[in-house]
Amino acid sequence: MAGICEGRVAIVTGAARGIGRGHALEFAHQGAKVVVNDIGAALDGTGRSDSPARQVVDEIVAAGGAAVVNGDDVADWEGARQLVRTALDTFGRLDVVVNNAGFVRDRMFVSCGEGEWDAVMRVHLKGHFAVARFAAEHWRERAKAGDAVDARIVNTSSGAGLLGSVGQSAYSAAKAGIATLTLVQAAELGRYGVTANAIAPSARTRMTETVFADTMAAPGDPGAFDAMAAENVAPLVVWLGSPQSAHVTGRVFEVEGGRVSVADGWQHGPAVDKGARWDPAELGPVVDDLLAKAPAPAPVYGAQ
């Protein structure tokens, strides 16, 4: 039986390990040709090696699929352009971009340095922007030429981006930016046949297995369902990359183990309109009343 992505071509960034590796393998299993993008960096983003990505490609090819390694830096403007070009030159088309690449440089806010902040923003937020930007340009050109485009962007936010996370100010801010970027992409690109959605995954990866060691631990029973296994995230991402998801756009999904939920983002809440300019001294009881009517915010991860 053909998979749900038969004949499609997908780029997966950060696809050599963890969650990205699971995406690449499942896309291939479901019939897609895959561009396995990864620079092979360490957890903090330093160093380079194509060996991890090559291993994923070899595994796909050994199983009868089609894949190619790409080692371009997603946050480099020309590298992002070349990544999209790799898909087009190798497989003749591009249908899906899964933005997954990232790393962590955790610091308490008051200790975070400029270089750490810039590095996290560059890889996560600019990396998501740059790759999707060149893919969208290609899809727009196809749509304007009269081709039927049925394309997908799947971005990777985080619970840290939706709720905040103590010790991860840069990471949280970047992931929040990715969630909002997804909404804008969905609003702007729908006319060209492109949907944009995001996931906020929870799984055992190099980023989480040490910081959240207890939560991410594998079950003691080898036969038990490993809810934190990285590959559990892939089914939703592959479905979002398939033709079956054409009616879904501008959404953020939380996924953990076998659990999938739709994140409910910022909404317009209770309001008071005086019809005139407020005096600052008036606003204390007004704000207190609004807060009493509004739902309590979800707690920041790691807050006491």
Catalytic residues: 158, 171, 175
Phi, psi for 51 (deg, rounded to 5): -60, -45
Helix (H) or strand (E) holding 272: none
Q: Which two tokens stand for residue 210?
A: 């040490």
| E strand map for 106-160 | 151-156
Rounded CA-CA distance 23/29 in Å is 10
- DSSP per residue over 14-66, as a string? T-SSHHHHHHHHHHHHTT-EEEEE-----TTS----SHHHHHHHHHHHHTT--
Please compute, for residue 80, the number of CA atoms within 13 A of its CA located in the half-sphere on the CB side. 24
Q: How far is CA 233 from the centre of its chain?
A: 11
Q: HEC string of 185-210?
A: HHHHHHHHCEEEEEEEEECCCCCCCC
Rounded CA-CA distance 110/25 in Å is 40
Residues paired with residue 7 on neighbouring β-strands, in sequence order: none
Which of left, alpha, beta for 76 (phi over 0: left; psi -120 to 50: alpha)? beta
Helix axis angle, 18-29 relative to 51-62, nearest 10°? 20
CA distances from 112 to 106, 117, 119 (A): 8, 7, 11
Helix (H) or strand (E) holding 162: helix 159-163
